[in-house]
Amino acid sequence: MKTIKNILMLLGVFFVISTLVFAVQSGDVDAADVAENDVATESNTSYRITAIEIPENLNFAGESVPLEDPEVMERVDREFLVNTYWQSNALLLMKRAHKYFPVIEPILAKNGVPDDFKYLALAESGLQNVVSPAGATGFWQIMKGTGRDYGLEVNENVDERYHLEKATEVACRYILNSKEKFGTWTLAAASYNAGPGSINKFMGIQKAENYYDLLLGEETGRYVFRIMAIKEILNNPEKYGFHLDSKDMYSAVPTFKVEVSEPVLSFADFAHKYEINYKILKRHNPWLREPHLANQSKKTYTLEIPNKGYYHIGK
């Protein structure tokens, strides 16, 4: 009997592993999704996995989605399922959005870019200063050449692609240029992911002028649908099973500005003058890429210094 029980247990484990491998291979989740996704236990009898009801008025930047098209509807449904049931990721996006959207929103509004594009930054980076395999960097995933073309300083000492306000300004200009070129906000968003050259090429080959009519690569083909799913979930969290209080959210630490127009030999020493440490200084100024600032041109840089009392620095 003990041998039979052991065999049954092994078969159960094999079934679970096979299910996860199939999910990864199917492309609905990647390995990181599986590793992070919350798994309901047998004891949690209240946990229910259901289909997702898709909102009838789904849109991106005011442009309607043709949900009557069954192929489009399946793609929408996929992104709602993946982003709803990848709970840990959705919670992190909500927490970070509370911290960083107040910085992004007024810059989008000032430049005449629809508010929906703040969710593009979420889709691009999860609101983290990540670097893609291709070298795209920061919250807005800006390539080195693009950053320089749009006026950002990008070198080993300073990389303003990590400067949230300046990078958001560049993203706005890039998006507005794409909107002027392609005519719709939806295609402007797609071109942000694939590049305007690729979108223009696909449109020419396929003789189509609408995002929903184009056959695009896997990532770009899912891109706008993912943005819309994230937008809907973050705007209606309880509808999708998420319950957070204001105390659960991440909040920005208040700062004041300090101008620097001379070289800085040691940012560790510089930080101590303001009763913080090197780590905290760099967290608030991630665009400073080295432990010093060469600044041979005597350019004026503005650093963010956190107000006293928010961090507990060890002695």
For the four alpha carbons of 22, 23, 28 and 29, in that order, the dihedral sign comes to: negative
Residue at 57 is within a domain = no
pLDDT band at 11 (very low <50, low <70, confident <90, very high): very low
Q: Where are the beta strands (DSSP E) in the chain?
A: 59-60, 63-64, 255-260, 301-306
Whether 200 and 269 share a structural domain: no
pTM: predicted TM-score of the whole model, two decimal places: 0.83
Whether 95 and 135 share a structural domain: yes
Give the per-residue pLDDT at 234: 95
Query: Per residue in 66-124, pLDDT tens?
Result: 999 999 999 999 999 999 999 999 999 999 999 999 999 999 999 999 999 999 999 99
Residue at 8 is within a domain = no
Residue at 180 is within a domain = yes
Whether 156 and 276 share a structural domain: no
Residue at 315 is within a domain = no
CB hemisphere CA count around 263 (13 angstroms): 7
Q: Give the mean pLDDT of 31-46.
A: 48
Whether 73 and 122 share a structural domain: yes
Average pLDDT, the chain: 88
Whether 109 and 217 share a structural domain: yes
pLDDT at 26 over 60: no
Last residue in a domain, options 238, 263, 298: 238
Whether 268 and 227 share a structural domain: no
Q: Which of 170, 194, 188, 165 has its CA nearest to residue 116? A: 188
Q: Which of 93, 97, 94, 52 has its CA nearest to residue 76? A: 52
pLDDT band at 46 (very low <50, low <70, confident <90, very high): low
Whether 286 and 150 share a structural domain: no
Residues for the chain: how many in total?
A: 315
Whether 210 and 261 share a structural domain: no
Whether 131 and 266 share a structural domain: no
Residues 106 and 209: beta-carbon distance below 8 Å: no
Whether 130 and 231 share a structural domain: yes
Residue at 25 is within a domain = no
Q: Domain total for the chain? A: 2
Whether 83 and 231 share a structural domain: yes
Residue at 138 is within a domain = yes
Residue at 90 is within a domain = yes
Whether 87 and 210 share a structural domain: yes
CATH of the domain at 157: 1.10.530.10
Question: Residue 186 corresponds to which tokens in the numbers above?
Answer: 């939806």
Full residue range of the structural domain in which residue 85 is found: 64-238
Residue at 69 is within a domain = yes
Neighbours of 247 (CB within 10 A): 6
Give the per-residue pLDDT at 314: 73
